[in-house]
Amino acid sequence: MNDARADSLAAHSHLAAHGWIPRNAEAFRHLPPPDAALWLGDRDPIPPDPAPVPRDWELGELSAAAAAAVDARWLDAADPAQRSELLAGLPLAGDDAAAPFAWAHRALLRQGLRLRVRPAPGGEELCLSVHRRPGNAVEAPLLVLDLEPGAHCVVLETHDAADTALPTGHVQNLQVHVMAGEHASLRHLRVALPGAQDQLAHHVHVRLQAGAAYEQALLAGGSSYHLQRTVLDLDHPQAQARMGSVLLAADACIDHQVRVHHGARDTTSGIDVLALGSGSAKLVANAHTTIAPGSDDANVRQRLTGVPTRGQPRLVLRPHLEIHHDQVQAAHGATWGALPEDALFHARQRGIAEADAKAMISQGMGAAVFARALSDADAVEASGLATRLADAIAAHLAGADTEHDHG
């Protein structure tokens, strides 16, 4: 029996013995995920001699500097040596609320892309883009970003519904692992705009060494089920992480979860979320930050904002701080309400149509979220994320204008 098949059978056995995420699990109680059967599909565990899996992670063209500093490996999970290389250094499933997703991922894992980034000459920041093209109706992709000490990188990671030709949508249980060495930095720009019938669960796990920095800007659209969960481990001095997320859902759902653990001195984290919902949408924004004993001068900020754009969406904003140390700075807050009337009024006074004014204001709010998360705002323009944001908000508001008002 090969390692892949053994792992798959062990994962199936674990899920059968321990069950799926219970409906009363605190992290998932507002939007319980579909049962394990959906994420495992109808396929049997990996057969003894599986067919080769084609590449379904696309890596954008690299500059000369990036080509010299980046090792890209597409690894076959059915090959014992490649599977070992693919999973090297990654944490086990653990026992947290989302652990069943990790077990289901291990059961279905077929292939992954592993990127190792070395420091570029002169400390240049390298730019990479990776695009995920769905390969199966039910899949478990894996992306590993391994930054060596002193490496600096921008990664644009995209997932678009336009690449899915399946009439009933697809099911994707994605795992992304980021490991940043001392004083390395990653600016992670993520776009996940699924089709209405797609069911997605994206898990990003970030581990930072001393002095390392991680920044994430997320643009996510709603679907039949859409989970975006990021775990940030700041267990070394002067590690810092910031996240800015713009969530858009019209008669669909998004569950956005961020969990941060401060386990060392002089660590910093910031979470900023803008959720725009319309019709019967369900959006949940969970931010949970723990400050462990001994984390002197930890600095924590949480800011969650929900805006209904039409109808009666359900917007749940849950900032939470768990503080076990007294020498820290921490603040959190949540606001819920319509687009600012004063801004709409001034726009109308200048002859701007109301629909255009709503789009401009929403785009400005989204751009501000990204600007607070990213130390280099130019990355939003240079990567095309600003254009994607504008297009996604315009599409969201256009859809909202055609919905029936449920009020």
Q: pLDDT band at residue 52, thresholds of 50, 70 and 90? A: low
3-state secondary structure of 131: strand
Percentage of the residues of the chain whose pLDDT score is greater than 90: 71
Residue 386: its H or E element: helix 385-401
**How many whole angstroms separate alpha carbon 105 and alpha carbon 139?**
8
Residue 378: its H or E element: helix 378-382
Give the other-Cβ count within 10 Å of 78's Cβ. Answer: 23
Nearest to 201 by CA among 98, 300, 317: 98
pLDDT of residue 305 exceeding 90, the answer is yes
**How many whole angstroms separate alpha carbon 76 and alpha carbon 53?**
7
Evaluate whether 222 touches 254 at the Cβ level (below 8 Å): yes
The single residue listed with the structure tokens 């990021």 is: 230
**How many whole angstroms separate alpha carbon 163 and alpha carbon 59?**
15
**How many whole angstroms separate alpha carbon 36 and alpha carbon 69?**
40
The single residue listed with the structure tokens 């060494």 is: 209
Digit-coded pLDDT (tens) for 56-115: 799 999 999 999 999 999 999 989 999 999 999 998 887 888 999 999 999 999 999 999
Considering the chain, what is the average pLDDT of its residues? 90
Structure tokens at 89: 């250094």
Please tell me the predicted confidence (pLDDT) of residue 403.
42
Range with the poorest average pLDDT among 170-184, 198-212, 358-372: 358-372
| CB burial string 301-312: b at 16+ within 10 A, e below | bbbbbbbbbbbe
